[in-house]
Every structure is written in C-alpha cells, then in structure tokens.
Structure 1
Amino acid sequence: ALGDRPEHRRAVERVRGSTPERVVHGAQFVTEIQGGSDVPANDMTAVPDGEIYRLHGQKWFCSNINADYFVVTARPQGAPEGGRGVALFLVPAYPEGGGGAEAPRPRNGYTIDRLKDKLGTRELATAEVTFDGAQAVPIGPLDRGIPNLVEHVLVPSRFACVIAAAAFTRRAERVVSAYADFRTAFGSTLIDFPLVRVAVDGIGTARRRATAAVFELLRLWEAARGGTEVEALDFRVMLSLCKPVLTQAATRGLHESMMLLGGNGIEERFSPLPRLYRDSVIMETWEGPHNVLLTQALRDLARFEVDPGAFVDRVAGDAGTRLGAELGELLSRASEPETTVPFAGFAERLVHAFADRVLAEIG
C-alpha cells in the first residue's frame, strides 16, 4: 500500500462505495505547460503545513476535472531538481473529500482557468487549473513520486488506451463490413470490388492483432506482478510499444472505414465512425504520444542491457531470429538520437509479430 492515512482510507472507501446514483471517481493531473510529457520538469510546489501539504502552481492538462479526487505531481519545498524531487499527492476536490453534488462548498484551493477545446473525448472535460493552497497528502515516499505514478497511474491508463484501440478497431470493422456487404454501386456489391475487399480485410487484420495484443499484455502484466525482473521488463517494453503502434493503427483503420462509406462516412448522424476517429486521436496522445514512448522503450532496452535475441524470442516466437538481429543492430547504436527513427519501424513489426504469435497459438 502507498498510504494508510485517514485521507487515503476515506478516498478508497468512497470510490469503492460508488453507486449508480452517486459515482465517486478520480483523475490524475501531471502535465505542466513548460514540460508536457517531461514530468521531471514539474515545478508546482508542495509546501508543508503540519501533517499535510499545500499545493501552489498550475497544471496545464487536467482531464476529468469534475472528479472527486485528484492524483497530482508536485515538488516538495526544498526537494532536488529533476525526477527524484517530484512527489505524488492525493488532493480531494473539496475539503474533507466531499463532492459538490452532496454539499455545495468552495473547492479545495484550486480554480479552473479554462476548459480545453479538444478534438475528441469532448464529453470528458479537460481544464487548465491553478492550485493556490490546496490541501494534499503524499502518496508513497516523496522521492518515489514518478516511479509510483508510472506503476500505479500511467501503466493502467496506457493499457486502457490499448483496450480502446482494440474496441475502436472492432467497431470500425463491424460498421464497414455490414455496409460493404449490402451497399451496391455500379452494379456490384461494394465488397466485390478488390480495393474495398482488401481495405476491409486490412481492418480485420488490425482488429485481430489489437485484440490478441490486449490479452497477451494482460498475461504479461499479471506475470510481472511479483515475477522476475525479466518478466517486468518484458511487460514494460511491450506496453510502451503496443500503445503507440495499436492506437495509431486504430486511427488509420477508422479513417479508412470512413472513406469506404464515402459521403456517409463523414456524416455524424450516419455512424459513430467520425466520433470514434476523433476519440482515437486522443488515445494516441494520452499518457505519452508515440515519440515519447518509443524513445523510452529504446532507452529501457539499452539501459537494462537486454539480450535482443532472447527478448524477441520471448515476445515474438518464430520471428525472433530476424527481428532479434535487427534489434541487436539498433541497440548497438542506441546512444545515437537518430536511432529512434528506424526503431519506430521496428516497433511496428515487433508488435505485429507479438500479436501474430498469439493468434497462431490459439488457432
């Protein structure tokens, strides 16, 4: 457990006690304007005040702003610069953790400066927020803020993005397959046109791969909990690769599906595809865009001196020899920033092999 204070217990009890009539939920506020995904650049300050802290500063991208509890990163007063100085805090939206629907009262020392006008997930309010003395209690040791953030917040959220990618791709396949099977044009059913058939088959392949990857990632995650360092690293790296590759594939599949529907594809009232397309772009962005996660994966593989052949064999099976040699060559140049460019292409091939291995195993 990362905390056993009364504030922690109350938050857990309230979230677990949610009902359809009163849902209690949370959010994480990490991003700041000067750093974006660079969390060690956070400069929001946490000032000690007896047994609690007071938060002062701004957060730039706060999704689910109507949550009851916020998990917030901040730098305790006097903490060192860089990642070791960033701590994790629990912040109730209202004093004593109450919700506005239960008893209207002032917010817990923060103001909503502006709502973001996002491309997608528009029903999930995202805001710019200023904290001015918000009551907060630490979550875990102060010098373990970023590791705890990654393990307990970002990893589940990134995995949720992969699940969403699989679901979006499945919906795209269902919509476009049904349409292509009954719609006629130029005297033929759409699915009988080779270009349409190839496109629909491609969306189906993307769906099968995404679904297989979800369940295999879940298996790796379960193995990593209390498992070996090798199992933990396999999961860490594959999640960092699957999230950008599969969310990007979902966006491409949704775009292709809209094109296959012609004018109907871009009609908001005809199908959910336009909305899912916008939401899919958000999934690509959340919890680290492609360049951040791919760079991190390459660094992890190099930092932990992974045996490229053994790693690829574990995750990709029969494709291990070819891809293992390719990874070995990339790792030999991992210290060169330009290596991230070919590594991005390798990542896509490895994720495909990862999913194809699972599909072959289940028949």
Structure 2
Amino acid sequence: MSYPNAANPYGFDDFLAWRENCDYYAQDPFAQKAVRVFTGAHAAEVDAAAREISGKVSFRWRKMAESIAWPEKRPWMMHYDGHGNRIDRIVRPHETEVMEQEVFGEALFADKTHPWVRFIKMYLIYQNGEACISCPLTCTEGMVAVLERFAETPEIQSILAHCKEGRDGRFGIGAQYLSEIQGGSDVKANLLEARQENGHWRLYGTKFFCSATHADYAMVTAKPAGSEQVGLFVMPSWLPGDKARERRNHFTIDRIKWKMGTSELTTAELTLDGALAYPVGPLERGLANMVGIVLTYSRLTVGLSGAASMMRAWREAARYCDFREAFGFPIGRMPMVAGQLATIEKAAKRTLAGAFRLNADILSLPGGLAAAPDAQDTDDLKQRRFNIRELIMLQKMATSFDAPDALRLAMSLFGGHGVMEDFSALPRLYRDAAVNELWEGPRNVLLAQIHRDLLSASSWYAPEVFVANILAGAPEDLVKELQQEIKGILSGPGLFEMSPDALEVCARWDRFCHRLFHAYQDVAAAMVEKQG
C-alpha cells in the first residue's frame, strides 16, 4: 500500500541507465541472425563491421542526433554577408557538421566497402532518425550508382571520386532536385530548362523541393531547350575555388521549408539562373535513369530506415514496459500491453527481414540495379529484374505506412511521456517516419505504377506467376488466395476511371498490395527465426 509522501522518491533512473548503455547491434539478436541468414560468406565481415560502428552510433552519434533536434538548433539561412554579398549560407549546428564528417568518413560508397557492410552500417545509423544524415546518405548512394554507369567525362569522374573515395579527408555529399511546384510526382511536367551556351550546359528555372541543400552536388532533372524529354544532369553547388568564397554556382536558395519531421535537414526552394551542370547518360533517358537508379536507392532507404526506427521503438518500449509499474506490477504483464508490444515486434522484425531479403535479391542480380538497359537477359532474369522493381515500390509503400503506426503505438505505451520530446526520441522518429511516407513517390503514385507495370507485363509475365515467384516459401493456400485476388483486380476497371466500381477496385488494390508485401516480409522473417 502506498502512503502520502510529499517528497515523492519516484524516478526513471533504472530505465535511463539501460537506455544510456544500450548498444544498438549488441542488443539486437534478430539483426544478428539476419546477418547470418542473408549475407552468406560475408557474415563474419558484416558482423564485425556492425559491432564496430554500433559503438559510435549508439552513444556518440545518438547524443549528437538528440542535441541537434532541439528547435533552437534548426538550420537557418544567411542570405548575405556583412558586406552585402549574396552567399546563401546554410547555418547548421556544429554537432551536425562533426557527425556528418564522421559518418561519411566511414567511406560507405568506396570500392573497399562491401555492399552488405554498407547495408548494416546504414541500418544502424538510421536508428538515430534523419539527423541530417539519412537523406544525404541515400542521395549520395544513388548519385554514385548512376555516375558509375556514366562516368564518361573528367568532370563526372572527379565528382564520382570525391563521393566515393574522398578528397583531402572529406567526402563529397549528394542531393537530388526533381520536384517543381506545378509537377510534384509528374516529373514530365517540369519546366526547368537546360541550355547549351559556349559548349556548356546551364540550367534555368526553379525547383520546389530540394532536400540536403547543403550538399556538394545534386542530381537535377531538366528539359533541354526545345525538347519535351527530361534529361538528367549533375550540378555542383560551387564551382572550383568558390566554396571558400561562398559563391554558389549561379543559383539562389530562396527559402528553407518548415517541415513537421526531418527538421534537422534543409529542404529548400531554389532558383537556377545559368547553373553549370554536366549531362549524365543519354538525355532522352534522363527520367528513366533518375527514377530507375537514383530514386530507387532512396526508396530502398525508406524501407531500411523504417525497419531501423521500428526496431528501436520496440526495444525501448519493451524495456520501459518492464520498468514501469502500475497497480502493483510491471505494465508489460498486462495482456493489452503485451499484445501491443507483440504487434510492434512483429512489424519491426518482418520489416527488417524483408529489407535484408530484398537487398540479397538485388545483390544476386548480374549488374545489380545498375545493369545496362540493353542487357540481353534470359526470360528468368527478365522476370527477376521485374520482381525487384515491383518489390522496391511495394516495400516503400508498405513500410512507410507501417512505421508511423508502429511508432505511434510504441509512444502510447509510454503514456503521457510518449509525446514528450525531452523524454525519448520516439516523437522525433514518428515525425520523421510521417515525412518518409511522402518522399520518393507517395502511396497513390506507387500503387498506380505497380498496377500499370503488371498490366503492361502481363503478355510475357502473368500476374499469378509474379505472385507465386515473389512468395516462394509462403503457405500454399495464401499464395493461391492472392493469385485469385490479383487476377480479379487486374481484370476489372482501371484505376483512373471515375466510377463506383473503380473506387472499389482502388480500395481493393491498396489493401491487396499491402497484404502481398507483408506476405513477402513474413517469409523473410520466418527464414531468420529458423536460424535459432
């Protein structure tokens, strides 16, 4: 029985002591098993790399990420210096710049870094949320992938080397600028113009959503003058010798947007007035290369970062429910709470296992995601490439929806403390997850594209065969049920006919795609759990 005590001795020291000493990878046995299951001969190397970087991520970088999240440390613009010169300096906290240099100093995109080592390191880094790190990492990853294919000029070779191997101890950072105010996901509606002037390409116009605006380089879509085709260009933020002078490459940063999440990361509106840029690949394939390579890596990151935030949320919520007592016993022993913890755990594990499995599928492809467009594939390999393309979109669509749900449920288990940003990182991770749902193609865009792809491929790849192939290892009755469902949906009205039947088909397709990818994830999770 409790008695009145004006000097209430209650505190959170035991829970906080655990959290302050929690090593993300050491206390993640599921991730350790996933490494053993999916990375094959590289398992020992990947495990060692994870243990080494986890000491930085879990302590030093975690504290930095928490420090820079305070509202008073949000980045801001200094448009002019004291002498009236336009500089467009993005003012960021010192911790951000130190952490960024240390993270990129891991040389994640260097030739010496195996893709599985990069994967596990990024998974652990993403457990700290955006922190002005996640977006620049994935943008740089996509930039490196596309530039590796088209490193045909000294300028592009120099940019690529800067991002992969570093220069003078610092690594180049990438960004991607696609969206314009009138177009959004409709990139073909873009108006930014690329003009050839004196043997150089220069860009004119505006971009409306430009994240990682502090980056050294950006992949930019633009239409060559007189053409309706969308070309792809890489644009330096500063020309040689100009960064120290704070003289940008003929563009201005007009304003920084105020976002509900990923607040440590600048997302800005830009005006380009003759910015020097270099074409990347054939101009007529610019949009295909941007979406097929650059955006693909960003979509993969949304899946992996969703897994990272959910695993952290489950781990911290489970520990808190062991610590917190109500009505005489730990709340984790309450059936309702235990059931909610199990829901978060299942979502986190299936998401991480699915991300591992999808990465393994990608690495098994000859040439990976960046295979030549004119590659002469066998029928089997053609189907495998198609599977990967659709799975990447399915993962982005499903995980970006699941993560906010899991994080919101985890926050609820902390009671009122769940929404206190100085009590835990969960509110920040929740806000970041909500933003991730909209980056790189919102749900409706991805659902429509998957529907269109399956109809287009149906003459050589039956949708039922697609379902069976990606769900190899799933219960037979579930596979048959989903096969019947996809046949029924794709034989019905299209997604763009405004009618009661079309509205019902759209709702069915939304539910079906989510269920389909969960089934893929569940097969992967079962593979991990069998590891024992």
- TM bin, normalised by shorter chain, reads over 0.9
What is residue 453 of structure 2 aligned with on the other side?
A: 300
- Report the residue type matching 2:523 in the other structure: R
Q: Using the alignment, how far apart are the partners of 2:522 and 2:301 within structure 1?
A: 21
Alignment of 1:119-198 (within 5 A): 119-198=260-339
Map 1:1-363 → 2, pairs under 5 A = 1-18=149-166, 22-80=170-228, 85-96=229-240, 100=243, 103-224=244-365, 225=368, 228-305=381-458, 306-317=461-472, 318=475, 319-333=478-492, 335-337=494-496, 338=502, 339-362=505-528, 363=530
CA distance in 2 between counterparts of 1:236 and 1:9 reads 28
Q: Is the 8 A contact 1:88 1:140 kept in 2?
A: yes
| Structure 2 alignment gaps of length 5 or more | 1-148, 372-376, 497-501
Q: Is the contact made by 2:164 and 2:171 (CA closer than 8 Å) also made in structure 1?
A: no
Shift of residue 222, structure 1, vs aligned partner = 2.2
- Aligned partners of 2:242 and 2:426: how far apart in 1? 35
**Quick one: distance in 1 between partners of 2:442 and 2:495?**
21
Quickly say closer, same or farther: Cα 1:250–1:20, change in 2 above 3 A: farther
For residues 51-95 of structure 1, the C-alpha deviation after alignment (integer angstroms, 9 at most, x for no partner) is 321100000000000111111000000112xxxx00000111111
User: Which amino acid in structure 2 is aligned with residue 270 of structure 1?
Assistant: F
Name the aligned partner's letter for residue 332 of structure 1: S
The answer to whether the 8 A contact 2:182-2:189 is kept is yes
Instruction: Give the match for residue 105 of structure 2.
Output: none
Query: Aligned partners of 1:141 and 1:104: how far apart in 2?
Result: 34
Identity %: 38
Matched residue SS, 2:364 = helix
> Structure 2 counterpart of 1:74, which letter?
A
AA in 1 matched with 2:326: A
Listed one character per residue, the Cα deviations across residues 305-331 of structure 1 (whole Å, up to 9, x for unaligned) are 141221111112333211011011111
Q: Distance in 2 between matches of 1:8 and 1:203?
A: 44
What is the CA–CA distance in structure 2 between the aligned matches of 1:265 and 1:137, rounded to whole Å?
48
The one-letter code sitting in structure 1 at the alignment partner of 2:278 is V
- TM-score relative to the length of structure 2: 0.65
Q: 2-side partners of 1:74 and 1:117: how far apart?
A: 26
Task: Write the distance in 1 (CA, Å) between the matches of 2:465 and 2:293.
Answer: 28
Amino acid of the structure 2 residue aligned with 1:309: E
Kept after mapping to 2: 8 A contact 1:34/1:41: yes
Query: What letter matches 1:217 in structure 2?
Result: L
Tell me the secondary structure at the aligned position of residue 285 of structure 1: coil
Counterpart-to-counterpart distance in 2, 1:13 and 1:21? 12
1:147-182 deviation per Cα after TM superposition (whole angstroms, max 9, x unaligned)? 100122100110011000000000110110001111
Q: 1:298·1:340 contact (CA, 8 Å) conserved in 2?
A: no
Measured in 1, the distance between the counterparts of 2:506 and 2:454 equals 12
Inter-CA distance 203–99: structure 2 relative to 1 (3 Å threshold): farther
Segments of 5+ residues of structure 1 without an aligned counterpart are none
CA distance in 1, matches of 2:161, 2:168: 16
After superposition, the C-alpha distances for 1:227-277 in whole angstroms (9 at most, x for unaligned) are 621111101111111111112111101111111101111111111101100
d(CA) in 1 for partners of 2:176, 2:525:
35
The offset of 1:138, in angstroms, is: 0.4
Distance in 2 between the 1:263 and 1:20 partners? 48
Give how far 1:20 is off.
9.7
Give the aligned residue type for 2:448.
Answer: T
Distance of 1:104 and 1:324 partners within structure 2: 61
Paired letter, 2:519:
A
- In structure 1, give the amino acid aligned to 2:520: F
2-side partners of 1:293 and 1:218: how far apart?
19
Q: For residues 334 and 164 of structure 1, what CA distance do their matches in structure 2 show?
A: 35
Aligned-residue CA RMSD (Å): 1.6
User: In structure 2, what is the Cα distance between the partners aligned to 1:328 and 1:99?
Assistant: 58
**Do the aligned residues in 2 keep the contact of 1:298 with 1:334 (CA within 8 Å)?**
no
Whether the 8 Å contact between 1:67 and 1:93 is mirrored in structure 2 is yes
Report the count of equivalent residues: 356
